[in-house]
Amino acid sequence: MRRKWPLLMASILLLLTVSCARDVKKEEPTTFGKYQEPSPVARPSRPPAQPTPEDQQRRAIEEGQLQGRRTDRAALQAARENFMQQKIYFPYDSAQLTQEAQQILRDKASWLRQNSDIYLVIEGHCDERGTTEYNLSLGDRRAESVKVFLVNLGIPASRMTTISFGEERPAVPGNNDNAWALNRRAEFILE
């Protein structure tokens, strides 16, 4: 029996090997560099679906809205810059608003009503004549007069703050009437 045992094991292994060999698929060698036609199973049965007119319209609307948002953002940024660049000027030693200043403030109030989420900082400035304390007080009165005018036009006071820089930040350096006139001003910062 001891001699038959190895023979019996060898026979079983041979049978298993032969029976497994029948299930192995024979692969064809691949050729690199040559075009191979895809198998018929891999081909789509029909061409991809064309977008419907509704899909095309929806896509056009979405692209238009995106472009519109970009345009709106650019227009708002340009309007903000224009708003801040437009200053108002005061007569010597005065916080009284000129007719020209009042018209500029009416335009600003109209824009602020249309953009109710924007807050405003009003800066009061003076020329170099007078003491530092006096000019800080005058700059404060100028900023406050602008704020009161805008409040009277319907802009909530809670959307505005004022600050005085007195003579500390001149717009134009110089010791002449022209430089002094350009330094007596109110400036606007949007937040």
Kindly state the average pLDDT of the residues 176-190: 95
Q: Which of 59-73, 83-97, 120-134 has the lowest mean pLDDT?
A: 59-73
Residue 111's pLDDT band (cuts 50, 70, 90): very high
Place of tokens 């249309």: 114
Residue 19's pLDDT band (cuts 50, 70, 90): low
> Residue 102 in contact with residue 130, Cβ under 8 Å?
no
Query: pTM for this one?
Result: 0.63
Strands 185-190 and 88-89: antiparallel
- Position 28 scores a pLDDT of 57
In the chain, the percentage of residues whose pLDDT exceeds 70 is 71
- Position 73 scores a pLDDT of 83
- Position 1 scores a pLDDT of 55
What does pLDDT average to over the chain? 83
DSSP H or E stretch at residue 57: helix 53-85
Kindly state the average pLDDT of the residues 51-75: 71
Pick the closest to residue 161 from 144, 179, 177 (CA basis): 144
Q: How distant, in Å, are the alpha carbons of 88, 94, 150, 174 from that of 180?
A: 14, 13, 25, 7
Residue 95's pLDDT band (cuts 50, 70, 90): very high
The half-sphere exposure of 78 on its side-chain side, counting CA atoms within 13 A, is 6
The 3-state DSSP class for residue 190 equals strand
Measure the N-to-C terminal CA separation of the chain; round to a whole number of Å. 101
What digits encode the pLDDT tens for the residues 142-156? 999 999 999 999 999
Place of tokens 């110089």: 174
Rounded to the nearest 10°, the torsion over CA 4, 5, 10, 14 is 90
- Position 55 scores a pLDDT of 75
DSSP string for residues in 103-117:
HHHHHHHHHHHH-TT
